[in-house]
Structure formats: C-alpha cells, structure tokens
Amino acid sequence: MEEGRSSVHGSWASRWTFILAATGSAVGLGNIWKFPYIAGENGGGAFVLVYLLCVVLVGVPVMMAEVMLGRMGRASPVNAMKKITRQVGLHGFWNGIGWLGVVGGLLILSYYAVIAGWALYYVVEMASGRLQGATPAEAAGTFAALLADPGRLVFLQSAFLGLTLLVVVAGVSRGLGTAVRVMMPLLFALLVVLLGFAARQGDWQAGWDFLFSFRADHLTGAGVLTALGHSFFTLSLGMGAIMAYGAYMPERASITGTVLTIAVLDTLVALMAGMAIFPIVFASPGMSPDAGPSLLFQTLPVVFGNMPGGLLFGSLFFFLVTIAAWSSSISLLEPGVAWMIESWRVNRVVANLVLGALAWLLGLGTVFSFNWWSGATLAGGTFFDWIDFFTSSLLLPLTGLFIAVFVGWLMRPGTVFAAMGDDPRPLLRAWHWVLAWICPVAIFAIFAVGLYNKFH
C-alpha cells in the first residue's frame, strides 16, 4: 500500500459508505434521546433555530477540518496528528488532539454502552407485553427496578459492548462498512414507519407546535449554550471519531459536499425523532413533554402501552434507538483500535478485547452510579454525572478548539487548501475564515460560560 494514499486498516468501499458511516456515528442517543427533550425544554422553534445555526457555523467547519486531518494523516487520530505535526513542522504538543480523541472515545463508550443497554432492555420489555396498559407509576417502577439491579445492567452493558466489538473486530470495510450499509437504511425506514404511526395515532399538530413554534421567550442564555454543546456531541466532533473515519475516505471525494450531507442527515434524523415522539406524548392525557432525560424510558412505554399496536411499535422504536447507538459506538471504539494496531503491532482482535475490557471496566462506574454508588457523590454529581460532564463539556469543546486553532491558525493556508482537494476556492476561503475566527470564539464562549455555570 502506498504511503499516504490509504491507511493500513483499509478504506471505505465508496464515498457513500463514508457518508453512511459518519452519519451512523453522528446519529445516536444524542438525536433520539437528547435532542427532543432539550428542544422541548428550551423553547422549541427558537432553540431549533439556534441549534441549526450552531451546526452550520461551528459544527460543519470543525467537521470539515477533522475529516481533512484524518485524510491527510491516513492513520488513527494519534498517528495522523504525529505525522501532520512533523510534516508541517509544529510542536508535538498538538499530537494531543489525537490523544484527547482516543481517550475521549473510550470514556464516552464506557457510559454510552450502559445507556444503550437500557434501550436493548426495552426492546424485549415492550415485546413481552408486560407494559400493556401500564400506568405512569408502573412504567416508572419498571425503570426504577432496572436501574436498581446492577446485575441486569452489567449484563445489558456487556451485550451491547459485545455487539460493538463484533463489528469493529471485522475491520473497516468488512465490519464497519457492511454494518452501516445495513443499519442506516434500516434506521431511516424505521423512523419513517414510526412517523407514520405518530401521524395516525398521535396528536400531530400539538407535536409540531411544540417543536417548531417560535417561542423566543423560552430561550435562555443557557439554552443557547446547550444548543452549541449539543451540536458538537450530535455530530461526533472533538472526539477523533470523524478523524479516524476520514482516514479511510477516498482521496478525491469532496470534503465540503460530504460533510454537508452528513450534517443535513443528522439534523433530519433529530427532527424526525422529535416528530415521532411528541405527537405520541401529546396524545396521552397527563403525559408531560418536558420529562427530561427520562422521557424516552419512562414516558414512552406508558404511551405505547396504551395505544392500539403500541407494543409492536414501541418495541420497534427501542430497536431503532439500539441501532442508532450501535452505529455510534463502533465509531467510539475504532480510533483506539486503529491506534493500538499501528503502535503496538497487535492484531484487531487483541486491540478490540483490550479496549473493550477497559470500556467495560470503566462502565461499571456508570452502572453503580444508579444503585450501589448513587449516594457517593462529589459536588452533587455521581460517577456517571462526572464522566458525562468531563467528556461532553470539557473534552469535546477543548479538542474542537484545538482543531480550529491548529487548522485555522497554525497550518499554512496553502497546505490546508491543498489537503482539502478540488472544492471551489472561494468556498474554502470562507470555510477557513469561519474556522479561524468564528469557531474559536464560539467554542471559548461555551467553555467559559459552561464552567462558570457549573461551579457557581
């Protein structure tokens, strides 16, 4: 294999496989579980507008930079950054971008697998019929009983991690590529089916109004920050995932076009998920749309359990969540696996087992946060709260900031433009300007205000 042209791990079969894989990474618990409830809590339409602005002005430019770095380095984030810093004569400090990605990926995977395990549980729980006609209290009881049982949580976490390893062990083309080519169309099809169900059985108009009516007075400064932070999480940025995937991208594919497609698809899924969830919630008297994080696991089972055909569609719904989380978790593991194969010269199976075991062990902290260790808090936060805060609020923005500064300020524009390929120059210049000026300021602002909020 020619040095610099492709990675030792192989490549995506086509530009479309890259788009599907990166969309698979982006579309996850962030879209289906988090976006609907934060949009609902922050003024609906006004929040959606700010979130779209964040995706366009910060998310897309940083994603383009990440893909470019990955493709330029043609290796795992750590070794890609090593190669690039050497090539452009910059200090090894900047290799930290790669390291933060690999470490961040493992930390996120550790708790992501636990939450995805809950979705897995509800696939079976809904299908079993036990939630038929469930009252809110009964559904809350089911969820509480699940969280109180570490054995069951560990089993589910292990099962989900097993699914993740299964794909990543099979490699880039045969494993990840094949998986996303099956999973992503399935995910879209399921979403459309569920939207149809929501339109027939739910209160479509109420759901639409809740999500899209422009209520600027509901939007606070904190809400704007939530929108910014979420644009990072939902696009899988600042984490090495997109950089690792960029390393397997065909040489001549347009980065601008590809990244725009991914961002549009990710946003579309978030909006569709909102429109699949809220009409169903509003169709049931007494159910509240602002239930927060428990919306998905406590509110929806009640709603589905009391609708004709609800158990089947409820089960399908949680299957959809599982698939979305699955195609994201493989992108959390791949950067570390690729790094380990390159640097330790071990094979894919060993790298998967070592990193999978690490994520599993760390995940126990999240499992116990909901039962044995729920009282062991630091400044009011459990182990889970802290690992979530440390990754989402610290690592992702920090790495994103470094990427914007590195590509926007430290690399020579000539090198950057050459690495971007044949996209129209004026477009690339506009991108470079936004990356250099808008992104660092915006990210710095999220960072500063987020930290201030947290510790004041």
- Name the minimum Å distance from CB 160 to ligand PHE: 13
Using the rule CB under 6 A, which residue among 78, 332, 359, 416 binds ligand PHE?
A: 332
- Direct distance between the N- and C-terminal alpha carbons of the chain, in angstroms, rounded to an integer: 54
Tokens of 452: 């201030």
Among the listed ranges 216-224, 235-243, 306-314, 421-429, the one in contact with ligand PHE (CB under 6 A) is: 235-243
Closer CB to ligand PHE, 28 or 408, in the complex: 28
Using the rule CB under 6 A, which residue among 31, 85, 226, 366 binds ligand PHE?
A: 31
Using the rule CB under 6 A, which residue among 7, 21, 22, 30 binds ligand PHE?
A: 30
Closer CB to ligand PHE, 31 or 369, in the complex: 31
CB 215 within 8 A of CB 291: no
CB 315 within 8 A of CB 129: no
- Name the minimum Å distance from CB 329 to ligand PHE: 8
Q: Sign of torsion, CA 37 39 45 46?
A: positive
d(CA 20, CA 25): 9
d(CA 63, CA 219): 26
Q: How far is CA 99 from CA 73, 80, 92, 113, in A?
A: 14, 11, 11, 21
Among the listed ranges 26-34, 220-228, 303-311, 368-376, the one in contact with ligand PHE (CB under 6 A) is: 26-34
137 Cβ contact list (under 8 Å, min separation 6): none
Closer CB to ligand PHE, 311 or 330, in the complex: 330
Say whether residue 246 binds ligand PHE (CB under 6 A). Answer: no
Closer CB to ligand PHE, 7 or 236, in the complex: 236
d(CA 216, CA 207): 18
Q: Which helix (H) or strand (E) holds 277?
A: helix 255-282
Using the rule CB under 6 A, which residue among 19, 22, 29, 80 binds ligand PHE?
A: 29
Q: How far is CA 287 from CA 43, 170, 293, 418, in A?
A: 18, 44, 14, 54
Site string for ligand PHE, 101-140 (x = CB under 6 A): -------x--------------------------------
3-class secondary structure, 381: strand
Among the listed ranges 78-86, 140-148, 249-257, 326-334, the one in contact with ligand PHE (CB under 6 A) is: 326-334
Say whether residue 231 binds ligand PHE (CB under 6 A). Answer: no
Write down how long the chain is. 456
What is the footprint of ligand PHE within residues 49-108 (CB under 6 A)? 108
Say whether residue 234 binds ligand PHE (CB under 6 A). Answer: yes
Closer CB to ligand PHE, 139 or 239, in the complex: 239
Tokens of 41: 């809590």
- Name the minimum Å distance from CB 208 to ligand PHE: 23
Tokens of 440: 């660092």
Among the listed ranges 142-150, 181-189, 234-242, 298-306, the one in contact with ligand PHE (CB under 6 A) is: 234-242
d(CA 18, CA 311): 35
Say whether residue 236 binds ligand PHE (CB under 6 A). Answer: yes
Using the rule CB under 6 A, which residue among 11, 20, 28, 117 binds ligand PHE?
A: 28
Tokens of 344: 């330790």
3-class secondary structure, 378: strand
Say whether residue 164 binds ligand PHE (CB under 6 A). Answer: no
Among the listed ranges 22-30, 93-101, 167-175, 313-321, the one in contact with ligand PHE (CB under 6 A) is: 22-30
Using the rule CB under 6 A, which residue among 18, 233, 278, 317 binds ligand PHE?
A: 233
Among the listed ranges 27-35, 70-78, 243-251, 365-373, the one in contact with ligand PHE (CB under 6 A) is: 27-35
The 3-state secondary structure of 1-45 reads CCCCCCECCECCCCHHHHHHHHHHHHCCHHHHHHHHHHHHHCCEH
Say whether residue 352 binds ligand PHE (CB under 6 A). Answer: no
Binding site for ligand PHE (CB under 6 A): 25-26, 28-31, 108, 233-234, 236, 239, 241, 328, 331-332
